[in-house]
């Protein structure tokens, strides 16, 4: 009877249902196993696109539950971004800081760059000590380690001593191995292809 289309579909549907039931059992078992209620440190790294935008996805999630959020960007240049515009124009409740001036590819002045990194780290440190914040985003922090502008052990200490309910999201390529080791969730975004490398200009709303 397998040549009757209806029967084939029926068995496909049954197979699908069995597979879904198995998956559900696995997922339910995993959910039942995860019993620890605690804040987390998330590291989003790798060469592919999607790290900062994922961090801002978590900002939206946190805000959805009325949580307090602070975003600190250790960014290289002064390129405006959609997320910056949106936060500044529509989300006055989000604390938002950028390293900005003193650190651009044009200046290439190591001393002023490091001074800017250290000053911005002071803001991060204050946030990591401030119990009002549920979510602290340290965007592009890993570059400060790569350039040796900030000490990895200081960052680790501050993260480990943060308020118990506070989660932290760190983004950027690379990242120190010790920092990586203390993160609860580490995702590496892999670059398969990026439009820019085919000569397509960075696009508003997608890339910045």
Dihedral pair phi/psi, residue 65, rounded to 5°: -100, 15
* Smallest distance from ligand ATP to CB 116, Å: 18
Q: Which stretch binds Mg ion (CB under 5 A): 18-26, 46-54, 58-66, 195-203?
A: 46-54
Q: Please, what is the Cα angle at 133 between 131 and 139, to 5 degrees?
A: 130
Told to check if 196 binds ligand ATP by CB under 6 A, we report yes
* Smallest distance from ligand ATP to CB 54, Å: 6
Whose Cβ is closer to ligand ATP: residue 11's or residue 47's?
47
- Using CB under 6 A, count the residues that bind ligand ATP: 17
Sign of CA dihedral 186, 191, 194, 196: positive
Sign of CA dihedral 81, 91, 167, 206: negative
> Out of ligand ATP, Mg ion, none, which partner does residue 194 contact, by CB within 5 to 8 A per kind?
ligand ATP
The C-alpha atoms of residue 81 and residue 96 are separated, in whole angstroms, by 13
The C-alpha atoms of residue 107 and residue 176 are separated, in whole angstroms, by 25
Q: How far is CA 63 from the centre of its chain?
A: 15
> Out of ligand ATP, Mg ion, none, which partner does residue 91 contact, by CB within 5 to 8 A per kind?
none
The C-alpha atoms of residue 101 and residue 195 are separated, in whole angstroms, by 29
Q: Kindly tell me which residue out of 52, 98, 166, 167 binds ligand ATP, with binding defined by CB under 6 A.
A: 52
Whose Cβ is closer to Mg ion: residue 77's or residue 131's?
77
Told to check if 45 binds Mg ion by CB under 5 A, we report no
Judge whether 58 and 169 are in contact, CB under 8 Å.
yes
* Smallest distance from Mg ion to CB 131, Å: 27
Told to check if 202 binds ligand ATP by CB under 6 A, we report yes
> Out of ligand ATP, Mg ion, none, which partner does residue 123 contact, by CB within 5 to 8 A per kind?
none
Q: Which stretch binds Mg ion (CB under 5 A): 8-16, 51-59, 98-106, 118-126?
A: 51-59
The C-alpha atoms of residue 133 and residue 149 are separated, in whole angstroms, by 25
Of the candidates 128, 139, 117, the one whose C-alpha atom is nearest the C-alpha of residue 71 is 139
Told to check if 142 binds Mg ion by CB under 5 A, we report no
The C-alpha atoms of residue 107 and residue 20 are separated, in whole angstroms, by 56
* Smallest distance from Mg ion to CB 98, Å: 13
Told to check if 49 binds ligand ATP by CB under 6 A, we report yes
Would you tell me which residues interact with Mg ion (CB under 5 A)? 51-52
């Amino acid at each position: 009877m397998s040549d009757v289309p209806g029967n084939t579909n029926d068995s496909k549907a049954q197979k699908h249902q069995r597979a879904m039931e198995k998956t559900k059992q696995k997922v339910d078992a995993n959910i039942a196993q995860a019993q620890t209620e605690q804040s987390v440190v998330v590291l989003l790294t790798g060469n592919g696109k999607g790290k900062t935008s994922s961090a801002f996805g978590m900002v939206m999630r946190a805000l959805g539950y009325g949580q307090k959020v602070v975003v600190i960007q250790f960014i290289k240049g002064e390129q405006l971004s959609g997320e910056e515009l949106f936060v500044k124009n529509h989300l006055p409740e989000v604390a938002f800081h950028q390293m900005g001036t003193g650190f651009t590819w044009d200046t290439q002045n190591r001393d002023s760059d490091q001074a800017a990194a250290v000053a911005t780290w002071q803001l991060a440190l204050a946030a990591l000590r401030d119990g009002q914040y549920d979510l602290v985003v340290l965007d592009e922090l890993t570059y400060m380690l790569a350039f040796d502008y900030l000490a990895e052990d200081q960052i680790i200490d501050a993260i480990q001593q943060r308020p118990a309910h506070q989660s932290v999201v760190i983004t950027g390529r690379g990242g120190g191995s010790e920092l990586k080791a203390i993160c609860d969730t580490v995702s590496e975004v892999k670059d398969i292809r990026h439009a820019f490398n085919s000569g397509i200009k960075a696009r508003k709303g997608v890339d910045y």
